């Protein structure tokens, strides 16, 4: 039996790195993608053993996405698993966020994810099997003031992935969406997401509920390999998901506004 192979974007840090390590522990070889080449040094041991091929490009650019798709096409066969974990975000008042950062967030979280998923899934369908793991966020379940663009892109990931999964019924290819909440990764700092604040504030709650990336990775990979539709990690995040099903958007916006006011 040939070695199982996975393509993992965002593999140089955070949840993506944790997923890469989880897959290596399960015997997968990887095409590990990151924006910066030096980030992939975190997989040095596996790189040295020839189990990881490194790919460093900026997926906010069309050139970066095209280069990745060309690299995937050069593999001996379509990957057994595609993990879309590359993502950007910026916390703050939307009108105050740099426009270039907003464009890059949409480019990576929406355009690149769509192009990569479409290209790889076509090949998987041609073979008759494959798994896709899309890393979204609990921000996909309601509007999030101060995280407007990021949350909107994660709504897209959820809607796109759920619809495509249904279209793929009977093809042997499944799509799973992973919904972590705030996690102990560099994304928190890069997005300038607050993890401090008065008791009961957004930052205070986030600090109390930060997830371990290794646990998020394991639960996400388990769900993808089972072919589950989605998985929400963390009991409080599961409660948030349940409430989002019954509370109107006006109520969730009011809650966010009250929490933000305590920062």
For 6-33, write each residue's pLDDT tens digit: 999 999 999 999 999 999 999 999 999 9
Q: Which of 28, 150, 156, 179 is catalytic?
A: 150
CATH no. for residue 96?
A: 3.40.50.720
Domain region containing 217: 5-260
How far is the C-alpha of 228 from the C-alpha of 220, rounded, in Å?
10
Question: How many C-beta atoms lie closer than 10 Å to residue 172's C-beta?
Answer: 13
How far is the C-alpha of 114 from the C-alpha of 53, rounded, in Å?
23
pLDDT exceeds cutoff 70 at 255: no
- Residue 156 annotated to the active site: no
Beta strands in 191-263 (DSSP E): 230-232
The DSSP element (H or E) to which 130 belongs, if any, is strand 130-135
Residues 199-204: what's their mean pLDDT? 45
Structurally, how many domains does the chain consist of? 1
pTM of the model: 0.85
Q: Which of 19, 180, 21, 5 is nearest to 84 (CA)?
A: 19
pLDDT exceeds cutoff 70 at 191: no
C-alpha distance from residue 188 to each of 14, 89, 125, 192, 243 (Å): 10, 9, 36, 6, 24
pLDDT exceeds cutoff 60 at 188: no
């Amino acid at each position: 039996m040939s070695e199982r192979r996975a393509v993992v974007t965002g593999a140089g840090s955070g949840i993506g790195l944790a997923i890469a390590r989880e897959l290596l522990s399960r015997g997968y070889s990887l095409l590990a993608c990151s924006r910066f080449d030096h980030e992939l040094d975190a997989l040095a041991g596996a790189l040295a053993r020839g189990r990881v091929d490194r790919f460093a490009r900026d997926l906010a650019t069309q050139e970066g996405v095209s280069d990745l798709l060309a690299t995937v096409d050069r593999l001996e066969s379509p990957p057994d698993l595609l993990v879309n974990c590359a993502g950007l975000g910026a916390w703050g008042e939307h009108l105050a966020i740099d426009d270039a950062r907003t464009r890059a967030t949409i480019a990576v979280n929406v355009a690149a994810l769509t192009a990569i998923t479409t290209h790889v899934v076509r090949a998987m369908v041609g073979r008759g099997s494959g798994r896709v793991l899309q890393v979204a966020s609990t921000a996909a379940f309601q509007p999030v003031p101060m995280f407007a663009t990021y949350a909107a892109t994660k709504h897209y990931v959820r809607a796109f992935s759920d619809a495509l999964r249904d279209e793929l019924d009977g093809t042997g290819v499944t799509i799973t969406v992973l919904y972590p909440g705030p996690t102990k990764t560099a994304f928190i700092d890069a997005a300038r997401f607050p993890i401090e604040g008065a008791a009961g504030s957004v930052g205070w709650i986030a600090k109390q509920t930060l997830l371990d990336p290794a646990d998020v990775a394991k639960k996400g990979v388990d769900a993808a390999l089972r072919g589950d539709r989605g998985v929400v990690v963390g009991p409080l995040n599961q409660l948030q998901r349940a409430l989002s099903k019954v509370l109107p958007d006006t109520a969730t916006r009011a809650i966010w506004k009250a929490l933000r006011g305590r920062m």
